[in-house]
Structure 1
Amino acid sequence: MIVIMAGGRSRRMGVEKPVIRVGGKPMLLRVYGQAKVVDDVVVALSRNTPRTKELCLREGIPSVETPGRGYVEDIQWLLREFGPFISVSADLPFIKASDFQIIEKAFDGRTSLTGVLSLEKIPQDLNPTVYRGYAIVGLNAVGTEGERLFELSNPLLALNVNTPEELKLAEKIARLVEK
């Protein structure tokens, strides 16, 4: 199962990120369209995301409402509800079905996988979160027994749209790669 994390407060953007359009399409629909090719998908919402909930209802996308106390708490709640799963942030507009397939194939259902990119693969305009010499991306596998880093290859996974500047960059990229 793939869970799209779409219940955050989006403080830096000031509006619910999953409904923001990149290349003319809400980011949630971009992520969902790629995920549903690979596995069953559910969108994790919270009281913080009423517009995202409306979008899911309108589009017939399965969703579940989490407690919405924070990312870690919601992940733990989802793990109790569904067991091990693949998680993805709703703000990764350039994720591909192949990215889901790669992490799903590597996931043993027990050990969590934290998706990372080699820093050499990161486009210059981005300032990713760096951990142990890698850029952390919003694609992970959530298990019950420990954790390890899992290197991915799609450099556009480094673009989480968290700020207006990153949204502008995503729009430029969309125009370039989706002609």
Structure 2
Amino acid sequence: MCGGRGTRLDSDVEKPLYQIGGRPMLDRVRGALADSHIEAVSHVVSSHTLQTRDHLDHDVIEAPGDGYVADLQYALERSDPPILTVATDLPLLDGAAVDRVLDRHDTGSLTVAVPAACKRRLGVSIGTTMAVDGETVAPSGINIVAEDGEDETIVIDDERFAVNVNHPSDAAVAEALLQ
């Protein structure tokens, strides 16, 4: 998912092209997927990310740009489940982390969440939260969407899933953790 403008980053570049450690976040996530057991990747862009679309060389789905959920739904309607969805703002993701999610999937959809306490400990922003087994958690930005089976939420206390870069302060944390 690479269709967001990144207005909260207060940058002149689109969010997927925002650099962490000298590389666009999009390229970092693409590298993680390439280093995982994923066999095929499609990039969901929008009218808000024309430079990102130009940065990509293939496998692009052009969504309407009506927001993350609407664009995700648009892409899902054009794909065959199960589908791993990954937000571009996870620059610490690596192949082993992606495979950890894939290994946890059996059937149904899988939501990966991180403890809100982990995000607070790291000093990164916390958006949406929910309760899982009495613990306050935040969606990580990586999920598996399937048509059949029971839906499951797993909680992983791991900085690779916890650092979503939405603000300059989040970018600073990601930069520090890459050192």
TM-score, with structure 1 as normaliser: 0.83
Residue 139 in 1 paired to residue 137 in 2? no
Shift of 1:153: 4.1
Structure 1 residue runs of 5 or longer lacking an equivalent are none
List aligned pairs for 1:101-140, cutoff 5 A. Answer: 101-109=99-107, 111-122=108-119, 123-129=121-127, 130-132=129-131, 133-140=136-143
Structure 2 residue runs of 5 or longer lacking an equivalent are none
Residue identity over aligned pairs, in percent, reads 30
Task: Tell me the equivalent position of 2:75.
Answer: 78
User: Is the deviation greater in 64-73 or in 41-50?
Assistant: 64-73
Give me the CA root mean square deviation: 1.9
What is the CA–CA distance in structure 2 between the aligned matches of 1:106 and 1:157, rounded to whole Å?
A: 15
Task: Tell me the equivalent position of 1:12.
Answer: 8
User: Is the deviation greater in 138-147 or in 38-47?
Assistant: 138-147
What is the CA–CA distance in structure 2 between the aligned matches of 1:140 and 1:16, rounded to whole Å?
A: 23
Structure 2 letter corresponding to 1:164 = P
SS in 1 for 2:7: coil
1:9-35 CA-to-partner distances (Å, cap 9, x unmatched) read 322124311111111111100100110
Structure 2 letter corresponding to 1:101 = D
Task: Tell me the equivalent position of 1:151.
Answer: 155
1:104-149 CA-to-partner distances (Å, cap 9, x unmatched) read 223345x221111234443341232321111221111112356321
